[in-house]
Structure 1
Amino acid sequence: MKTSQKFFHQLIMMYRPFENRLNVHLAEHQLYRAQWTILYYLAHNGTATLVELSHYMSVEKPTITRTVSRLEELGYVEHVPGKDKREKRMQLSDAGQKVYQDVRVTIDQYEQEILEGITEEQQIETIQIMEEIQHNIYKVRGN
């Protein structure tokens, strides 16, 4: 088997168990991965439009709309005025910031457990490799 085949096979074999276990941890906070991803984005970027979130997550806008609506119902995100009245931007509410911090503790513990034995240098190198692959995927698909 070619190295590239093993690489991508291993990536696929790792992804589902990672996401399944992540969802177990998120369920402790009544959240799902898609909701967590939006909370993460807003915590690190301040505000976003639905279009920005759909590009970030590589999903269709209606999917983002449903997820954001649920986060609004939970009181975790709120609308803020944009530069243009037609632009709907959102940000974390105070409750959203608190839940983000609470969940962050849970996720940090999980991530530390599964990174056991992997040095920071190895993590940095892997991040760079994943970023380059992601860049190449977007380049190939024309985005």
Structure 2
Amino acid sequence: MLYRPFENKLNFHLAEHQLHRAQWSIFYYLFNNGSATLVELSHYLYVEKPTVTRTMTRLEELGYVEHVPSHDKREKRTQLTELGRKVYAEVRVTIDQFETDILKGVSEREQLEAIRIMSEIRNNIIK
């Protein structure tokens, strides 16, 4: 009951930047981790590799990601381009405001408790 309204509203805000949630999740991961393989991203997102491949292809077409050399020549690593980092910063402002709006009336203590509870539930699911 929470997931779908959240996803719809998030996608509404991301559409202002011509993005959707799956693309934003990859942006977020690459910004915070530097680079990733398709396998790493598929594990992070809990989706199949072909799903990540389609999303990455689109981000590459938009000029937001690029391939980078790796120690293992069989491995294809991707990172945000300069344009991708710029777009991330712009979208981050939108996301921060969205998070502020949806957490109105929820204290920091309650937010931390909710995070703890959701982490526990997630751990139980992926056992």
Give TM class, smaller chain.
over 0.9
Structure 1 unaligned blocks of 5 or more: 1-12
Q: Which residue of 2 aligns with 1:68?
A: 56
TM-score w.r.t. the length of structure 1 is 0.87
**Identical residues among aligned pairs (%):** 70
Which letter does structure 2 place at the counterpart of 1:131? S
Equivalents in 2 of 1:83, 1:133: separation in Å? 37
- Give 1:107 deviation, angstroms: 0.9
Which letter does structure 1 place at the counterpart of 2:94? T
Which letter does structure 2 place at the counterpart of 1:92? L
What do residues 60-116 of structure 1 show as CA deviations (whole Å, max 9, x unaligned)? 000000000100000111111112001001111100000000001011111101100
Q: Which residue of 2 aligns with 1:122?
A: 110
The counterpart of 1:103, out of the listed 91, 116, 127, is 91
Compare 17-26 and 125-134 and name the one that shifted more. 125-134
- 2:37 is equivalent to residue 49 of structure 1: yes
The counterpart of 2:19, out of the listed 10, 25, 31, is 31
The counterpart of 1:87, out of the listed 68, 75, 78, is 75
Equivalents in 1 of 2:28, 2:84: separation in Å? 10
What do residues 19-62 of structure 1 show as CA deviations (whole Å, max 9, x unaligned)? 10110100000001100000011111111100000000000000
Higher relative contact order (CA 8 A, sep 6+): 2
Q: Which residue of 2 aligns with 1:77?
A: 65
The counterpart of 1:133, out of the listed 99, 104, 121, is 121
The alignment yields a C-alpha RMSD, in angstroms, of: 0.7
TM-score w.r.t. the length of structure 2 is 0.97
